[in-house]
Amino acid sequence: MIALSKGRYTAAEARCAGDIEAAQRLRALCFELETSLDVDPFDATSKHILIRETASDAVVCCFRMTALTGAELPQSYAAQFYELSALAHYDGLMMELGRFCIHPDRNDPDILRLAWAALTSFVDTHEVKMLFGCSSFAGVETAPFLDTFAMLKARHLAPKRWLPRVKAPDVFRFAARLRRKPDAKKAMLRMPPLLRTYLMMGGWVSDHAVVDHQMNTLHVFTGVEIGAIPAARKRLLRALV
């Protein structure tokens, strides 16, 4: 079981239905849903990590993890939106990271550091070779993020051997459509924090973004091969483990 602490926060796996409900409540808040809980069938097959403020016991961050082999990829959340046959023969255990949320009123960097430490603990224990998931942008309008998408095209597209193909009915094919040179400052300003962290670890993305009207987000498939993470970054991630 994962159990870590840093500063004013602790990270631990969900131990009961009440813990999972607390995560679902935070997710609904972060995604600005009309319902009080964000619930889907993938919750039942995932491990849930909750980060709480120790003094108040308030849940300030949550995410879920699912370990999968290449043959099990069709059972993943991402497979609803992306054609992932290129990864079906990936040699090694993969882990899908999903529903990563930080309370909108919290901006303490220790929260994200602790979240990644918890992830690292799971990856090391289970010898995971690749992390993947859907990195979300707020809203379904592409205009505010064009410099970010241009930077993704220029620097961070998936290797051709792993590239996810189009499956969703509504997508923004930014790699094919954008011809602009990215403004680096604007690109980083609009980059979702989770995606920024993925890219710092050598991560890559799909060549298109899915327009998810149900969740009111744009998202790109994102992968990180553990063996490609820079050694200095690995040392930082393991510092709390």
pLDDT (tens place) for every residue of the chain, 241 residues total: 677 888 899 999 999 999 999 999 999 999 988 899 999 999 999 999 999 999 999 999 999 999 999 999 999 999 999 999 999 989 899 999 999 999 999 989 899 889 989 999 899 899 999 999 999 999 999 999 999 999 999 999 999 999 999 999 999 999 999 999 999 999 999 999 889 989 999 999 999 999 999 999 999 999 999 988 888 877 766 666 5
Looking at residue 3, its pLDDT comes to 77
**Helical axes 193-200 vs 109-126, angle rounded to 10°:** 50
Looking at residue 182, its pLDDT comes to 96
Separation of alpha carbons 150 and 156, rounded Å? 10
Looking at residue 241, its pLDDT comes to 54
List the domains of the chain with CATH numbers: 3-240 (3.40.630.30)
Segment holding 227, helix H or strand E: none
Q: How big is the chain by its Cα radius of gyration, in Å?
A: 17
Looking at residue 231, its pLDDT comes to 82
**Local structure of 128: helix, strand or coil:** coil
Contact in structure between 10 and 3 (CB atoms under 8 Å): yes
**Local structure of 116: helix, strand or coil:** helix
Residue 204 token pair: 């890559």
Separation of alpha carbons 182 and 197, rounded Å? 19
Picking from 157, 134, 161, the residue whose alpha carbon sits closest to that of residue 66 is 134
Separation of alpha carbons 54 and 51, rounded Å? 9
Looking at residue 2, its pLDDT comes to 73
Looking at residue 40, its pLDDT comes to 95
Separation of alpha carbons 237 and 232, rounded Å? 9
Q: What are phi and psi of 230, to 5 degrees?
A: -55, 145
The dihedral built from the CA positions of residue 121, 221, 203 and 52, taken in this order, carries a sign that is: negative
